[in-house]
Amino acid sequence: MSQVATTKVILLGTGTPNADPDRWGPALAILSNNQPYIVDFGPGVVHRAVEAGIDVTKLTRAFLTHLHSDHTAGYPDLILTPWVLGRAEPLEVYGPPGIKHMTEHILAAYKEDIRERSEGLQPSNDQGWRVNVYEIEAGIVYKDSNVQVEAFEVDHGSWRAFGYKFIGDDRSIVISSDTAPTEKMVEVAQGCDVLIHEVYSLAGFAKRPVDWQRYHASVHTSSRQLAEMASKARPKLLILYHQLPWGVSEEELLREITEVYDGKVVSGKDLEVYP
């Protein structure tokens, strides 16, 4: 790997399935040597990338945590829009079982659009709309001169889901995916530079219907649980992501964390950059 690499995090979207005009769908970019690596592709991913100053023709590497719609509704956008804007190489996508099937159906759904843009008067190329898909297992799933990417399994219900650890020359960044708390997360995130983790408010949770409480307690991480994991893992920076406050203010949610965890923690917002 290059000895001059700089690796930073750009939060493209920090939302959830709840429609929030200030928080677009879950998506972030790890930027190393000006090469973006996308993790998840929620609604608005390409527009947010443009807002963040990313050259969308460089959106050629993407990693999916799981197949939930709020993390994948921007997938057609990620496949097609950069191609229309000039991307001249296939998109490389890494994700859990089912991503190949999803990709095939998206390309089939847009078959006529691809045909018209390819065969009509519009200038185009024959590579930028194509997708090379890799269904992954836990372990090192990608490596180039900028980063190494490790996938690890998380607990998000009955289907397989992955978190990712990006290791660059100058820092390590861990992304949780949607998950219940696991010891594996503590192990992978041990001493990392940045941990980006989902969270729900305990105070907000108490107001939820019983059936939703049952669901969220099984497949997501509460503020108290996250604080306890962070106290063990000791990341240099904890970024709250995919937040479910349910009426609790940002300050109150942060307070729920800091009552237990004494490390540096911030509430992530769309388009924030962490160098």
pLDDT digits (tens, 9 = 90+) for 22-42: 999 999 999 999 999 999 999
The pLDDT of residue 2 is: 43
Average pLDDT, the chain: 96
pLDDT in tens, 100-151: 999 999 999 999 999 999 999 999 999 999 999 999 999 999 999 999 999 9
What is d(CA 233, CA 268) in angstroms, rounded to the nearest whole number? 19
- Spatial contact of 116 and 78, defined as CB atoms under 8 Å apart: no
Q: What is the mean pLDDT of residues 164-181?
A: 95
Q: Are strands 139-143 and 148-154 parallel, antiparallel or unpaired?
A: antiparallel
Q: Report which DSSP code applies to 34.
A: T
Nearest to 133 by CA among 78, 179, 173: 78
Domain regions of the chain by residue span = 7-274
The pLDDT of residue 225 is: 98
The pLDDT of residue 4 is: 47
Q: pTM score, two decimals?
A: 0.95
CATH number of 7-274: 3.60.15.10
The pLDDT of residue 169 is: 83
Residue 170 pLDDT greater than 90, yes or no? no
Residue 1 pLDDT greater than 60, yes or no? no
Sign of CA dihedral 28, 156, 95, 166: positive
> Which pair of tokens denotes residue 266?
């911030």
The pLDDT of residue 107 is: 98
What is d(CA 14, CA 26) in angstroms, rounded to the nearest whole number? 5
pLDDT in tens, 55-73: 999 999 999 999 999 999 9
What is d(CA 229, CA 189) in angstroms, rounded to the nearest whole number? 9
Residue 5 pLDDT greater than 60, yes or no? no
